[in-house]
Amino acid sequence: MVDTGSELKVLISRRRIAAVVKRLAEEIRGDYTGLNPLVVGILKGSFVFLADLVRAVNMPLQVDFVKLTSYGDSTQSSGRITVLLDLNCQLAGRHVLVVEDIVDSGLTTAFLCDYLRQKGPASVKLCAFTSKPSRRKVDIRIDYLGLEVPDKFLVGYGLDCAERYRYLPDLCELKEK
């Protein structure tokens, strides 16, 4: 169902998404084999990408999630981030791979990577399915990047608009009619 007054346009098809996930998974498997990495998803947006990614990586690893303060129904970050749901495991000596659906301003991932590094892990790297470099407010290194995307309102493949559309298998642009 689509809102009256808006329409969906497929920007990245499910077929292209699958190819991107496969490429990222091969890179990650090459770098982390034998390291039993801890894959940390940022709720909620990352859950679809993370589920596809870990099955494509298909090697021993562990999964945990964090939830940070959400932008809610706003499209703008407040810039203030706090942890709403924390990890349920020790990080000392672990190789941590943060998985995110989109890096926009970079504030969320910059905060989380700094937060995790304070817990004594062996390494912290970032894998993002998409990035909007034109929106960046802080410098953030993305170690494994799926795709750069334009500054459009994107939904689907985990991304929402006021909690709608996360289930869409394609990454879509939500356009005003």
Cβ atoms within 10 Å, residue 97: 26
Applying CB under 6 A, which part among 10-18, 50-58, 70-78, 169-177 lies near ligand PRP? 70-78
In the complex, least distance from residue 137 CB atom to ligand PRP, rounded to whole angstroms: 7
Nearest partner of 47 among 66, 22, 19, judged by Cα: 66
CA–CA separation, 40 and 38 (whole Å) = 6
Active-site position among 3, 31, 52, 104: 104
Residue 71 found at the interface with ligand PRP (CB under 6 A): yes
Q: Which residue is nearest to ligand PRP (CB)?
A: 45
Considering beta carbons, is residue 103 or 113 the nearer one to ligand PRP?
103
Residue from 66, 103, 116, 145 binding ligand PRP (CB under 6 A): 103
Residue from 17, 28, 91, 107 binding ligand PRP (CB under 6 A): 107
CA–CA separation, 102 and 146 (whole Å) = 10
Residue from 12, 25, 42, 172 binding ligand PRP (CB under 6 A): 42
- Please list the alpha-helical segments (H only) found in 8-166: 14-32, 47-57, 107-117
- Please list the alpha-helical segments (H only) found in the chain: 14-32, 47-57, 107-117
Considering beta carbons, is residue 82 or 88 the nearer one to ligand PRP?
82
Q: In what order do the strands lie in the sheet with 154-155?
A: 6-12, 171-176, 154-155
Residue 146 found at the interface with ligand PRP (CB under 6 A): no
Mark whether 104 is an active-site residue: yes
In the complex, least distance from residue 93 CB atom to ligand PRP, rounded to whole angstroms: 26
Q: Are 158 and 148 in contact (CB under 8 A)?
A: no
Contact positions toward ligand PRP, by CB under 6 A? 42-45, 70-71, 77, 100-108, 160
